[in-house]
Amino acid sequence: MSQHVASAVPAPAFRPPAVAAVPAVSAGADARQARAGAPGGSPECPVLPVLGLDVRVPLVTGGETTYAALDYAASAPVLQRVWDEVAAYAPYYGSVHRGAGYLSQHSTALFEESRATVARFLGCREDDRVLFTRSTTDSLNLLASAVPEGTRVYVFESEHHAALLPWRGLHTTWLDAPRSPEQAVAALEERLHAEPAGPKLVCVTGASNVTGEIWPVRQLADAAHRHGALIVLDAAQLAPHHPVDIGELDVDWVAFSGHKLYAPFGAGVLAGRSDWLDAAEPYLAGGGASRSVVREADGGVEVEWQGGAARHEAGSPNVIGAYAVAAACRALDEAGFGRLVERERTLTARLLTALAEVPEVEVLSLFGAGSPGEAAESRVGVVSFVVEGWNSSHFAAALSAEYGIGVRDGLFCAHPLVRTLRGAGSEQRGGCGAGGTGGGGDLNAVRVSFGAGTPDEHVERFVRAVRELVRNGARWNYRTVDGRCVPEERPAAGEAADAAAGGRGEAPGGSDGGTARSRPEPGRVTVS
Ligand SMILES: Cc1ncc(COP(=O)(O)O)c(C=O)c1O
């Protein structure tokens, strides 16, 4: 068991009464117990309240329905608790680390408390640093800027671009996407064994943003360390779905994003060893990172940089963002991560079972786990698939326009992985967003993703929609505009009324109800 950070958080001299109502940071041991799932707690798995569940969106077939946000892997909805805590703090907002006023002191204390909360959430070791950044992308670029000269970097081609690209300019080796967790460990081990001595860094994902498959992080960390390499974990997709304990996983750094962890206020985290960070030039040069700046007689400038977290947090800190991330960490810990994981597995198994019953649907998988139940054990709530005879952009557009379901289609900023999964040649090119026809559009997949705030109904509606679209085709015409598939304009007034009569005024379910005069031949896409 890892040690928790002995917090050097400065206690606020005094707190505005309203802020005292903000739930106190939970003690590390309590949080950890809650994370494991409270024994004797409610057998019912909690669905954490999130914003947006009652938002209604128009359906192209007429009427409207509640929005089903099934794109958590891109950005998760805001936890109600995070929103409430941010709102409670907002009147007391002030500058951080640079003001003498009451609210500046208060905000500074809250910022540092947030750092300590994140450290506990990640099970940080005593001398680990927690840096607030903008996102996972920012965190990994920050680390890349601190890599000592001569370091060799190793990444699997299956990573998100945020984990593939920051190392450009360094001696970087891309490893082929492995076809099993064991193969991943063996491939890394073999590669590192063959490498010369010297500083090395391995960057791995915790859970794939394409397949949702969980990677053997502890085993990869052991392999890296056996060969003298350090390892950074891209936990952008793992942390919102699964406990991440930096000590238990024995990784050197962890990066994640607030907006995927129900806290979309522009903050991310890089946590881990301090040595490379302390020795590096500041990631950004500016106020906050500099202890003293002196103009010298010869025209030069003498800068003394800060140590600690401040060294890499130049500029005015995003206290609301950091506080929101901390609030999300507390909410997940206190809800009992164990129970959240269980519920998500149940939903994932249900989804995979339903998709397996539709022969036209192919779920993308790198590791190829057996039955849907087994697969759900080793995945987070992220599933990508393609549908025979459908352009994925068209399928995603129909899910949105006809069912009010928000998913993502494309290559998910993991082009090499999607190409490997879809068996395409590396010469093909694709946009990060959807393509219509040709180019990367042919490789596109649909991704459905969910989490702690997803009601069962959203997954049920999605499954029903997939079945109906595959069986009956789309009920509307679509065309491609600027690389995205969009519904054709509504017909003129008279026809629109007919169309609305043909549509149900709700997301369709069960049998296909009625044919609008404007109803197209199913699934027709035109490119304009
Ligand atoms: C696995 C993974 N890593 C990194 C990122 C980048 O995260 P952000 O866009 O928040 O920087 C993402 C975003 O989708 C991701 O899924």
311 and 361 part of one domain: no
Q: Which of 452, 428, 367, 355 is nearest to 395 (CA)?
A: 355
DSSP assignment of 297-349 equals TTS-EEEEE--TGGGG--SS--HHHHHHHHHHHHHHHHH-HHHHHHHHHHHHH
Q: Alpha-carbon distance 87 to 77, whole Å?
A: 16
Ligand 1 atom closest to the Cα of residue 207 is: 1
Specify whether 366 is located in the same domain as 223: no
- Domain boundary, last residue among 334, 368, 389: 334
516 and 416 part of one domain = yes
Looking at the structure, do residues 342 and 202 belong to the same domain, yes or no?
A: no
Average pLDDT over the chain, rounded to whole? 85
Atom of ligand 1 nearest to the CA of 208: 1
The pLDDT score that the predictor gives to residue 423 is: 84
Q: Which of 203, 413, 432, 485 is catalytic?
A: 413
Three-state secondary-structure class, residue 525: strand
- Cα-to-centroid distance, 490 and ligand 1 (Å): 36
Q: Is residue 268 part of a domain?
A: yes
Count of the separate structural domains present in the chain: 2
What percentage of the chain exceeds 70 in pLDDT? 81
Nearest atom of ligand 1 to the alpha carbon of 259: 10
- CA–CA dist 425, 476 (Å, integer): 33
413 as an active site residue: the answer is yes
Q: Please tell me the chain's helix, strand, coil percentages from 3-state DSSP, rounded to the nearest 5.
A: 35, 20, 45
**What span, in angstroms and rounded, lies between the C-alpha atoms of 92 and 22?**
12
**Average pLDDT of span 106-126:** 98
**Could you tell which of 136, 208, 447 is best to mutate to test the pocket of ligand 1, judged by most ligand atoms within 8 Å of the CB?**
136
Which residue is closest in CA terms to ligand 1's atom 16? 209
List pLDDT tens digits, range 52-98: 999 999 999 999 999 999 999 999 999 999 999 999 999 999 999 98
The pLDDT of residue 146 is above 50 = yes
What confidence tier does 488 reach under pLDDT thresholds 50, 70, 90?
very high
166 in the same domain as 306: yes
Range of 398's domain? 337-527
Q: In whole angstroms, give the CA distance from residue 20 to residue 24.
A: 8
Please tell me the distance between residue 163's alpha carbon and the centre of ligand 1 in angstroms: 8
pLDDT score of 368 more than 50: yes
Mean pLDDT of the region 259-269: 98
Question: What pLDDT does residue 434 have?
Answer: 35
> Domain end: 318, 334, 350, which one?
334
Contacts of 33 (CB under 8 A, 6+ apart): none
Helix 456-472, helix 337-356: angle, nearest 10: 10
- Which of 75, 211, 233, 260 maximizes ligand 1 atoms within 8 Å of its Cβ, making it the mutation to test the pocket? 260
The pLDDT confidence band at residue 524, using thresholds 50, 70 and 90, is: low
pLDDT (0 to 100) of residue 370: 81
CA of 70 to the centre of ligand 1 (A): 16
Q: Is the pLDDT of residue 48 over 90?
A: yes
- Substitution site in 210, 213, 237 for ligand 1 pocket (most atoms within 8 Å of beta carbon): 237
Query: Ligand 1 mean position to 99 CA, how many Å?
Result: 34
Nearest to 221 by CA among 244, 243, 242, 197: 244
408 C-alpha to ligand 1 centroid (Å): 14
Task: Provide the pLDDT for residue 507.
Answer: 55
325 and 375 in a single domain? The answer is: no
Is residue 132 included in any domain, yes or no?
yes
Least confident segment among 149-163, 332-346, 513-527: 513-527
Minimum-distance ligand 1 atom for the alpha carbon of 209: 16
What lines the ligand 1 site, CB under 6 Å?
A: 135-137, 160, 162-163, 205, 209, 234, 236-237, 257, 259
pLDDT exceeds cutoff 50 at 18? no
Whether residues 217 and 291 share a domain: the answer is: yes
Element (H, E) at 420: helix 415-422
As a whole-number percent, the residues of the chain with pLDDT over 90 amount to: 76
CATH of the domain at 420: 3.90.1150.10
Distance CA 281, CA 146 (A): 7
Question: Looking at ligand 1, which residue's alpha carbon is closest to its atom 12?
Answer: 236
What Å distances lie between residue 369 and 73, 156, 179, 374, 376, CA to CA? 21, 19, 10, 6, 9
- Going by pLDDT thresholds of 50, 70 and 90, the confidence category of residue 442 is confident
- CATH, residue 108: 3.40.640.10
Compare 115 and 497 and report the one with higher pLDDT.
115
Q: Which of 139, 155, 160, 241 has the most ligand 1 atoms within 8 A of CB, as the residue to mutate?
A: 160
pLDDT band for position 452 (50/70/90)?
very high
What sign for the dihedral angle of Cα 178, 179, 185, 187? negative
pTM of the model: 0.86
Cβ atoms of 206 and 189 closer than 8 Å: no
In contact, 287 and 105? CB cutoff 8 Å: no
Q: Looking at per-residue confidence, does 191 or 520 come out higher?
A: 191
Whether residue 143 is found in the same domain as residue 254: yes
Are 432 and 481 part of one and the same domain? yes
* Distance, first Cα to last Cα, the chain: 59
List, in sequence order, every residue forming a beta bridge with 445; answer none if it has no partner.
Answer: 410
Expressed in angstroms and rounded, the spacing between residue 274 Cα and the centre of ligand 1 is 23
User: Which of 493, 486, 494, 495 shows the shortest CA–CA distance to 519?
Assistant: 495
d(CA 333, CA 262): 13
Burial level of 400, CB count in 10 A (0-12/13-18/19+)? buried
Residues 406-436 have pLDDT tens digits of 999 999 999 999 999 998 644 444 333 333 3
Kindly provide the b/e burial profile for residues 455-473, where b requires at least 16 CB atoms within 10 angstroms of the residue's own CB: eeebbbbbbbbbebbbeeb
The size of the chain, in residues, is 528
Instruction: Say how many Å lie between the CA of residue 494 and the centre of ligand 1.
Output: 46
Query: Of 301, 334, 367, which one is at a domain's C-terminal end?
Result: 334
